[in-house]
Amino acid sequence: MAAIQKLRNNAGLLIIVIGVALFAFIIGEFLTSGGGQRAGRRNNIAVVNGKGISFDAFQRIIDEEENLAKMQRGSTALDAQTTQEIRSRAWTDMIQNLVLDREFEKLGLTISGEELFDMVSGENPHPFIMQFFADPNTGRVNRQALSGFLQSVNDLEAGNQQKVFWLYLEDLIYKERKNQKYNTLLRKGLYATNLETKRRHEELNTSVNFDYIVKRYSEVNDSTIAVSETELKEYYKAHKNEFKQQQSRDIRYVVWEVVPSQEDVKRAEAWINDVKGEFESIPAENSFQYASANSDIAPTETNFTNGEFDNAELNEFAFSANEGNVFGPYFEDNHFKLAKLAKVDYLPDSVKASHILLQYEQTQESFDQTRLLADSLKKLIDGGSSFAALARENSKDEANAFDGGDLGWFKEGQMVAAFNDSCFYGKTGDVKLVYTQFGIHIVKINAQSRNVKKVKVAELARQVRPSEETDQSYFTKASEFGAVYNTKEKFEQAIKDQKAVAQSYNNLTVDAIGITGIDNSRSLVQWAFRNDEGSVSKRVMEYDNKYVVALIDKVREEGVKPIEDVKYDIEQEVRKQKKAALLKADLEDVLAEASDIQSVANALNLQVQNANNVRFTSFQIQNLGTEPQLQAAAISLEPGVLSPAIEGTNGVYVLQVEDKDAPSEEADYSSSRNFLDRSYATRVNYGSMKVLNELAGVEDYRIDYF
């Protein structure tokens, strides 16, 4: 059935949410007794609400996700990045389900069987049901196809791929609906009041023009402002919440990149020279077969026109040599190569064509019926019926069916191989049946440009790669460095003595997938978080063609930064506060006698400046940058009133509003209300999970495992 094929084709979509479904099956195996640190890290990957979550149960989720990803890709292995993405997604889904299920239970929030059935088969089915079972002609659910699928899927065995996909999809719909109910409850309790709406409208629509003078902090020399240790500690104590930090590490590391030696280069060059005679001797029509069996780069059997080769010398050879001639060896992209002219043709430079696409379900019966339809349509076209009219009535290619199936002009290589060859090796007026992965095409060649010379060149490549001896020599260098310079002091001295060049990576987080420039280096992150400050890696770490020895420069644990780490920033802030107090005192003395902004400026020998069209919501003030205190004061003042001294970001200000443009009391507040409602809804969707995770006291021990 088409629905089954859609499920197979959209497996990637289901991978995103597989953790949600799996959680429902194995929730009972997650939780172990004990709480908090008593539950401990032993055999647990996390602690949520005081209960440990076993690594084995979490690994089963990952295994299932990986298996599904492999099925979807048709492969037996996944690359490191995909594996890391699956782990991250599985973690997020698992924690969310653990946290939310507790809330659902407290609220008694459930989804009945009737409600789930309605989301699948009711008048307004879930969008996923629409995606898989929509009738392309009507845009509505094909009820017959859906009913047939639901009946057939119940008869499938438990391990059947289609049944597994359906269970995932059904559970996703169930979980999503539950989450929607929960978020709706939260949103109903958070709405914009009339007062908030009015205030938002005023913030957006009230603007002022004002004059100001400023005494900048930079006018007071730092050396004249003393800051004591007591003042630093008092500020630190009062502002600890501003100095929170995540767990992170600073590291330095030395990399030995394994590159081929001269002997390795000679070895690759010798190989290509040795096979040249054999490559020359094989028939031209067998060139690609030989290259496929022996080349380090899979050859592509593609037609090229003059000028399309990046290598100018190869291009000249390809369009001047005879079939069977060999060019090279030549060196390109770290490979020694030979190129054989396998085929010369004279074909259209471009083709103008139309097509009718017919699609079928993955059954022999459906294919046979579609082929009969294709034969019938072709006979009608051959008999003089309008191709365009038949395309509009029958083609499933929505991009051009309305235009009679017209594809316009296209170059060779723009279409899939079978479609391409039928157009470029046919002749104008031909109507053909072509079979591709998209279905059965009825193709009509409307026009062809003039023929041009095209060639196919089979390339045989040998990569210059490091030998085992070369690789071992780099490993030995790295091992010797790690063994000799095995403390922080020795490591730093080696760098100072230019024994090696170290690179730095600061603020490395526990969830980092690796180090920039070193592929698949998650284990380096693990090492950095499992060892102490000052540690040098005891063993050489290997990543593809690189060997690494690393040093942990600094360890930061989650919590409040030590005062030593923020001492400079605190000192600058305390000094600024002291400067502000001095400058405010000077200004207040003058303000006591001043009548307007100009008299203040005259008394202090300052220049009056102005700012126009300033709003409460303005990101910054022209020529001043970010000054929120000044903005707030300007909006609140009435025209003509002289402000008190205002402590700002860059200095102390006095301002006087020239004029104010405020909205009327009868203004329409609907846009402001809509904005606030959307803002609150977003805060619910994102903020609720953040708060719930904090309340659940989630402890993350993934670094212990991967």
Mean pLDDT of the region 459-468: 97
Mean pLDDT of the region 371-379: 95
Cα–Cα distance measured from residue 172 to residue 319, given in angstroms and rounded to the nearest whole number: 58
Query: pLDDT of 630-663, one tens digit each?
Result: 999 999 999 999 999 999 999 999 999 999 998 8
Cα–Cα distance measured from residue 512 to residue 489, given in angstroms and rounded to the nearest whole number: 27
Instruction: pLDDT band for 40, please (50, 70, 90 cuts).
Output: low
Q: Does 138 have pLDDT greater than 90?
A: no
Sign of the Cα pseudo-torsion (412, 415, 418, 422, in order): negative
> Looking only at Cα atoms, what is the longest distance across the chain?
105
Name the more confident of 25 and 444: 444
Q: What percent of the chain has pLDDT over 90?
A: 67
Residue closest to 28 by CA, chosen among 54, 46, 47:
54
Specify the fold of 350-449.
Chitinase A; domain 3 (3.10.50)
Cα–Cα distance measured from residue 524 to residue 540, given in angstroms and rounded to the nearest whole number: 10
pLDDT of residue 41: 66
Count of Cβ atoms closer than 10 Å to residue 4 Cβ = 20
Q: Are 645 and 588 in contact (CB under 8 A)?
A: yes
Terminal-to-terminal C-alpha distance of the chain: 41
Q: Does 223 have pLDDT greater than 70?
A: yes
pLDDT of residue 202: 86
Question: Where does 248-259+467-557 sit in CATH, by number?
Answer: 3.10.50
Cα–Cα distance measured from residue 125 to residue 118, given in angstroms and rounded to the nearest whole number: 7
Q: Does 514 have pLDDT greater than 70?
A: yes
Cα–Cα distance measured from residue 332 to residue 311, given in angstroms and rounded to the nearest whole number: 9
Q: Does 432 have pLDDT greater than 90?
A: yes
Instruction: pLDDT band for 1, please (50, 70, 90 cuts).
Output: very low
Hey, which residues does 617 pair with through a beta bridge?
Answer: none
Among the residue ranges 24-33, 245-254, 447-456, 521-530, the one predicted with the least confidence is: 24-33
Instruction: pLDDT band for 607, please (50, 70, 90 cuts).
Output: very high
- Of these ranges, 11-15, 154-158, 189-193, the one predicted with the greatest mean pLDDT is 189-193
Among the residue ranges 24-38, 138-152, 686-700, the one predicted with the least confidence is: 24-38
Residue closest to 162 by CA, chosen among 18, 389, 289, 3:
3
pLDDT of residue 80: 80
Strands 51-54 and 31-32: antiparallel
Name the more confident of 22 and 555: 555
Instruction: pLDDT band for 28, please (50, 70, 90 cuts).
Output: very low
Contacts of 71 (CB under 8 A, 6+ apart): 11, 161
pLDDT of residue 17: 37
Instruction: Please provide the average confidence, as pLDDT, over all residues in the chain.
Output: 89
Hey, which residues does 455 pair with through a beta bridge?
Answer: 304, 344
Hey, which residues does 358 pair with through a beta bridge?
Answer: 440
Integer Rg of the chain from CA: 36
Query: pLDDT of 291-327, one tens digit each?
Result: 999 999 999 899 999 999 999 999 999 999 999 999 9
Using a 10 angstrom Cβ sphere, with 0-12 exposed, 13-18 middle and 19 or more buried, the burial of residue 283 is exposed
Cα–Cα distance measured from residue 94 to residue 328, given in angstroms and rounded to the nearest whole number: 57
Q: Does 16 have pLDDT greater than 90?
A: no
Name the more confident of 74 and 172: 172
Instruction: pLDDT band for 203, please (50, 70, 90 cuts).
Output: confident
Residue closest to 109 by CA, chosen among 21, 203, 175, 165:
175
Domain pair 248-259+467-557 / 350-449, same fold:
yes
Q: Does 191 have pLDDT greater than 90?
A: no
Instruction: pLDDT band for 670, please (50, 70, 90 cuts).
Output: confident
Mean pLDDT of the region 689-703: 90
What are the structure tokens assigned to 30, written together?
Answer: 């997650």
Q: Does 337 have pLDDT greater than 70?
A: yes
Among the residue ranges 123-127, 204-208, 251-255, 383-387, the one predicted with the least confidence is: 123-127
Contacts of 3 (CB under 8 A, 6+ apart): 132, 133, 145, 146, 149
The DSSP-derived string for 240-300 is GGGGEE--EEEEEEEEEE----HHHHHHHHHHHHHHHHHHHHS-GGGHHHHHHHH-SS---
Using a 10 angstrom Cβ sphere, with 0-12 exposed, 13-18 middle and 19 or more buried, the burial of residue 138 is exposed
Please tell me whether residue 554 adopts helix, strand or coil conformation.
strand
Q: What one-letter code names the amino acid at 330? A: Y
Hey, which residues does 502 pair with through a beta bridge?
Answer: 254
Q: Does 269 have pLDDT greater than 50?
A: yes
Query: pLDDT of 528-587, one tens digit each?
Result: 999 999 999 999 999 999 999 999 999 999 999 999 999 999 999 999 999 999 999 999
Q: Does 503 have pLDDT greater than 70?
A: yes
Name the more confident of 39 and 212: 212
Domain extents in the chain: 2-187, 207-244+564-661, 248-259+467-557, 262-347, 350-449
Alpha helices in 624-669 (DSSP H): 628-636
Cα–Cα distance measured from residue 432 to residue 426, given in angstroms and rounded to the nearest whole number: 9
